Every structure is written in C-alpha cells, then in structure tokens.
Amino acid sequence: MPLDRAFKALRQFNAPDAAPLAGRKDRMAPFWDHHFPGDAHIHRLARALSKRFAIDLKEFCEAVEFFARTRKAIRAPVVADLFCGHGFVGLLFGLFERRVERVILVDKMRPPAHDLILGAVAEVGPWVADKVEFRREDIRHHVDLPAGASVVAVHACGPRTDRAIKSALACGGPVAVMPCCHHTSGYHQRPTAFDELLGPDVAIDIDRTYRLEGAGYSVEWTAIPRAVTPKNRVVIGRPGGPRRDLDYDPRI
C-alpha cells in the first residue's frame, strides 16, 4: 500500500466529503472559491487562479501539498523547477520563501497557462515576477545550475526524474522529486526480488535513494495525500549526509 498523509496546507480537504474533490481535473473557477474563503496567501492565490481559469484543482492541490512537505529541506537562494510544465511549484517557492532570490523554470515548452499562473501569483506577491527565469530547454542529461541550487521535479515522467536528480548532484544542491511513470525509467540497479516483493515503482525509488546516499546525501521519503494522486511518493535528498559505499551488482 502506498504511503498516505493528511492534507497539510489545504486542511479543508481532510473532511471526508471534500477529500475526493482534491483529485479532480476540473479547471479551477470562481464556483470553487467557497473552499478558499480566508485571507491567508494560499486562499487568496486560489481565488486569483480561479478567476483566470488557469489551473486544474488537482494540479493546484498537488503542487501546494508537495511544496508544504519540501519547503524546509529545499529552500535556498536559487530553486530550479525542472520539467516544470507551467512552473507552479517553483512559483510557490518564489512566493512563500523570502530566502528564495531566484526561481529557474525549465521545460522544452512554455505553456500559455504559465503566464496566467504567474499573473495570479504576482497579484498576491508582486515581488515574485522579478525572481523568475523561464528557460526553454530540452533536458537530455542534466541542467547546468548555480552551485548549491535546489532542484524540484513533480511528476517528471520516468527518466526525467533521474535527470533532475543528476542535475542536483551536479550542482551539489538539495533535491525533491515526486516520481511517476516508473515503467519508462529504463535500467536501474536493483535485485529482481525487490520488483517481485515490493513492485517496480518502489524498487526504482529504492535505487534512486541508494544513488543519492552513495553521493553523500541524506534521504527521506514522505508523501502527499493519495486523494490527490496515487503517484504520491516524495523523495527528498539533502547534501551533507555520510557518504556510503552502496554499489552493488543486481546480477549477483
């Protein structure tokens, strides 16, 4: 059974009748505003997005809950959101983390929704727009980033998650990923028994954990609520852990 967690930032969705709504792919619109009635920045942001019809409710909940679980580990002067799509996760760091001075969004296309979402974020936090850089780049191996930059990647399909991890290792910064599409990830070192006992998704993320710890990172697993998405595992790696020799040959 995958990990599950209660809603941390959007606690109104912990109510049994509200939780299923968080996974809906309906575009946020003003008729959703009664779920976000408060004066807190996150409620104001939700309403600003709704009036622009800028993002699906599922994507909003997914990004906000991911951010809530990773912000303390990931905040740094530079945060890079790789395979970012519309870049909402990176923008959340720019909005809520004053320590973040620069947000680098990287994807091969800049979707029209990005400008709508950036407009909503800037309405709540005018300081965000000057922090944001959107790079149109097809990430084949890894991205060149400033030393110590933090890396996030939410549902970067298959090998894209591994490229995000590789980018973090290259610049020596922390990393947080929420993987998906494990079956397209290609070859990972892992015993076949792990696939049979735990399933390939968990086995692949175990290998990713081994790789991070082998590079001197401390790693933890957490999750966002399954009500948002079944692909809810979050892997967080922070440099400064003990470097461990974890190489192994799965054929032995």
Q: Of residues 241 and 30, which shows the higher confidence score?
A: 30
- If one compares 251 and 83, the residue with the highest pLDDT of the two is 83
Provide the pLDDT for residue 252.
Answer: 25
89 inside domain: yes
Structure token pair of residue 246 = 């974890």
* Domain membership flag for residue 78: yes
Q: Is residue 74 in some structural domain?
A: yes
Would strands 132-136 and 102-107 be described as parallel, antiparallel, or unpaired? parallel
Residue 8 burial (C-beta neighbours within 10 Å; 0-12, 13-18, 19+): middle
Average pLDDT in the chain: 91
More confident residue, 177 or 3: 177
Flag whether 250 is in a domain. Answer: no
Mean pLDDT of all residues in 122-147: 94
* pLDDT in the model for residue 238: 97
Average pLDDT over residues 168-194: 84
Residue 247 forms part of a structural domain: no
Answer whether residue 252 is part of any domain: no
| Residue 124 tokens, joined | 């709540």
- Given a cut of 80, whether residue 190 has pLDDT beyond it is no
> What CATH number is attached to the domain comprising 83?
3.40.50.150
Which candidate, 119, 128, 62, 76, places its Cα nearest to that of 238? 76
pLDDT of 250 > 70? The answer is no
Range of the domain at 69: 21-239
Q: How many domains does the chain have?
A: 1
Alpha carbon 247 to its chain centroid, in Å, reads 27
The DSSP 8-state label assigned to residue 120 in this structure reads H
Confidence of residue 104 (pLDDT cuts 50, 70, 90): very high
Q: pTM to 2 decimals? A: 0.92
Q: Is the pLDDT of residue 159 over 60?
A: yes
Q: If you write DSSP's letter for every residue of 155-168 in order, what string do you get?
A: EEETHHHHHHHHHH
Any domain includes 86:
yes
Average pLDDT over residues 50-65: 97
Indicate the range of 73-87, 173-187, 238-252 predicted with least confidence: 238-252
| Residue 184: inside a domain | yes
Higher pLDDT among residues 145 and 247, named by residue: 145
